[in-house]
Amino acid sequence: MEDRYAPLLKSKLTKQSFRNLAALKNPKLHAFIADSIALCNPDSVFVCTDSKADIAYMRRLAVETGAEKPLNAPGHTFHFDGYFDQGRDKGSTKYLLAPGMHLGSSLNSIGKKEGLEEVRSLLKDSMVGRLMLVRFSCLGPVGSKFSIAGVQVTDSAYVAHSEDLLYRSGYQEFKRLGGSPEFFRVIHSSGALKNCISADWQKRRVYIDLEDEMVYVINTQYAGNTVGFKKLSLRLAIRKADREGWLAEHMLVMGVHGPNGRVTYITGAFPSYCGKTSTAMIAGETIVGDDLAYLRAVAGEVRAVNVERGIFGIIKGVNPKDDPEIWRVLDSPGEVIFSNVLVADGVPYWQGDGREHPREGVNYSGDWFAGKIDDENREIPCSHDNARYTFRLSDLGNLDPGADDPEGVVVGGIVYGGRDSDTLVPLLESFDWQHGVITMGASLESETTAATIGQAGVRTFQPMSNLDFVSIPLGRYVENHLNFAGGLKKIPRIFAVNYFIKGNDAKYLTGMKDKYVWVKWMELRVHGDVPAIKTPTGLIPRYEDLAGLFKKVLGLDYALEAYDEQFKLRVPENLSKLDRIEHIFRTQVTDTPAVLFEVLAGQRQALLDARAKFGDYVSVSRFA
C-alpha cells in the first residue's frame, strides 16, 4: 500500500480491516477508500471480506442499527424507506459530463466539475458518528470473462445487506484482479436520518461519472437508488459494452423447456412492473435471472449471464395461487428482506397477497390504519405499490443449472414487452433481426407505473426497456444492437409480447397465465417446429397451435373468438405509434441510423395496404 494512503486508513480501520484491505494489491482501490474516508469522515470503517463471519456481522448490524427490524419468521426482516423515497428518482439522477462528452438530449446530465462540487459538498462529513461499510461485488459469475468487479462504500447496513443477497461475493475477485484498474466504484450516504429514514430527500442526488466509472449517491435509501450495482452500474456497463462490442441489458434470462427435454434460453426486456419477474418465474420453466444480463457473441452464437444472484422484486400481487415458488420462499424461514410493506404483529402484508389484512399496523407512512390519508387527501394503501422483497435466487426451487456458468447460456430468443392497452397484439415475432431490433426493441413503448417517481399511466418511449439507463447516444445504442448480429452463425429470434391489451370495454383480453403459453410458442419457433402467419407488423401464431398449447400447458379450452379479438390488427393505433416513434427519432435522436427510418417506412406502407384492402381493424383470417 502506498505511504500516502496508509496513515489515514490506519486511523479509521481496525487492524483486521486494514489487513483485509492491504491484501488487495490495488492502488486505485486504496485511493478510492482513502478519498471516501476523507470526504465522508466516518468514525470507523469495516472492510467486508465475504467470509461467513463478516456476512453474519452485516446481517446483525442491519438490525442493531434499526435499518431493518426482525419479523416472526426466522431470518426475515423488514425495512422502510421514506414516504417520498419509494422509487428510482429520474429527476435527481444525472450523468456527470466531462468537457466534450455528448450523450444525447434525452438524458439528464450536468457538467462534471459542477456536479462533483455539488454532490461532494453534500457528502462532506455525511458519515460523522457512523460506521462506513466497504463491500466488494462481482457482477456476473465469478471468474467469467463476462463479469465486472465492483466496490461500494455505504453507511447503510440495509444497503450492504441487500448487496450480499443480490450480488456474488467480490473480495476474492479483487484478489484475482491484482492491480487492475478495471472495476466500478460507488459511494453512498443515507444523509441525515430521522427514525432511520433519509430525512433530506429534497436533496437526493444520484450522480454517475461515466469517465471515471463511479457513482455518487446521497440522501436516499431506496435500493433502486442506493444499491449501486443495479441500474446505476448498468449505465456504466452499457458504456463499457459500447467500447468492447457486447451488450449490457435490462433483461431477464430464462430456460424454456420444450419437447424431449430440450431447454431453450430466452432473454426478455420489460420496463419495471410490466411482468418481467413473473415471466422469468413461469411455472415449469427455469430462471437464470430476472433483471440484468450481459450478452456476448461467442463462437458464432449469443451467450448471456445474469449480472446478479438475487431478486429485488415488486411484491404487489404476489400470492400463493399466481406465484407459488416466490410465495414459498416468502413464507418460509430464510434470509428475506421485505421493504415498504405493512407489518402487524410481526407479520408482513401487501396488496394482492390473497389474505385478509389487519385494519392497522405500521408501514412506510408510520402508524397506519385503514382509511388513512396523506397531506394531499389521498388514501394511503397498506403497502406501497412499489413495495419489494429481496432474497437469493438459490432459495428458489426452479433455479436453472446454468445460472452460475461462467460461459453463460446460449440465447435462442429475445423478447420485448411493455404496457400497451390498445396497439400491440399479445404475441408477435419479427421478420428478421433488423426488423425486431427496430420495430420491437427500439420502438418499445410502455405506460408508466409505481416503480418510478411521478404520475402513473402515461405512455412513454422505452427503447429496449433501457432508456433510463442508456449512457451513450441513443442512435449508437440502437446501431450497436443492429451490428451485434454481424458474424453470428446462430441469430436469436426476436419476439414482442403485450400482457396488457384491452378490449372496447377496457378489460384485459388476456389472462395472467397466458404468458405460459406464449413462451412455449416462442420456444417452438426458435427451432422451426411450428409455422406462423405473416401480418404487416410481424409473425403471429396460428389458432390451432395456440389452442393445443392452451390445452397442454394450462388445461384450458382456447376460444376462436378470443384469438380473433386478441390478434386482430389495429391499423389506426399502429400507425399512430409509428408517428410517435418516427417523430422521436427524427427530432430527439441526432445519430439515428438511416435503416431505422427505412424499416419503419416499410411497416407503415404494409399497414396502409392492409387498411386499403380490409379496413381499420383486420381479422387474423384475412392473413391466414
The tens digit of pLDDT for each residue in 595-622 reads: 999 999 999 999 999 999 999 999 999 9
532 phi and psi, to 5 degrees? -140, 165
What confidence tens digit (pLDDT) does each residue in 309-338 have? 999 999 999 999 989 999 999 999 999 999
All three cell numbers of 403, joined, read 445460472
Q: Give CATH superfamily name and number for 312-395.
A: Phosphoenolpyruvate Carboxykinase, domain 2 (2.170.8.10)
Mean pLDDT over each residue of the chain, to the nearest integer: 95
The CATH number given to 247-309+401-622 is: 3.90.228.20
Return the higher-pLDDT residue of 184 and 90: 184
State yes or no: pLDDT of 458 exceeds 90: no
Count Cα atoms within 13 angstroms, Cβ side, for 10.
Answer: 7
On whether the CB atoms of residues 439 and 582 are closer than 8 A, the answer is: no
**Residue 314: predicted pLDDT:** 92
All three cell numbers of 207, joined, read 450522480
Return the active site residues.
Answer: 274
On whether the CB atoms of residues 55 and 48 are closer than 8 A, the answer is: yes
Domain boundaries, the chain: 6-69+85-244, 247-309+401-622, 312-395
What confidence tens digit (pLDDT) does each residue in 369-383 have? 999 999 999 999 999
Three-state SS for 56-103 is HHHHHHHHHCCCCEECCCCCEEEECCCCCCCCECCCCEEEEECCCCCC
All three cell numbers of 341, joined, read 410493506
**Residue 418: predicted pLDDT:** 93
What confidence tens digit (pLDDT) does each residue in 486-534 have? 999 999 999 999 999 999 999 999 998 999 999 999 999 999 999 999 9
Computed on alpha carbons and rounded to an integer, the radius of gyration of the chain in Å comes to 24
Same fold yes or no, 6-69+85-244 and 312-395: no
Return the higher-pLDDT residue of 288 and 91: 288
Q: Are strands 310-314 and 388-392 parallel, antiparallel or unpaired?
A: antiparallel
The angle formed by the CA atoms of residues 297, 301 and 302, to the nearest 5 degrees, is 55
Q: In terms of pTM, does the model score above 0.75?
A: yes
Rounded Cα–Cα distance for residues 83 and 363 (Å): 10
Rounded Cα–Cα distance for residues 241 and 170 (Å): 20
**Residue 452: predicted pLDDT:** 53
Alpha helix segments (H runs only) across 310-372: 324-330
All three cell numbers of 615, joined, read 379496413
Q: Does domain 6-69+85-244 have CATH number 3.40.449.10?
A: yes
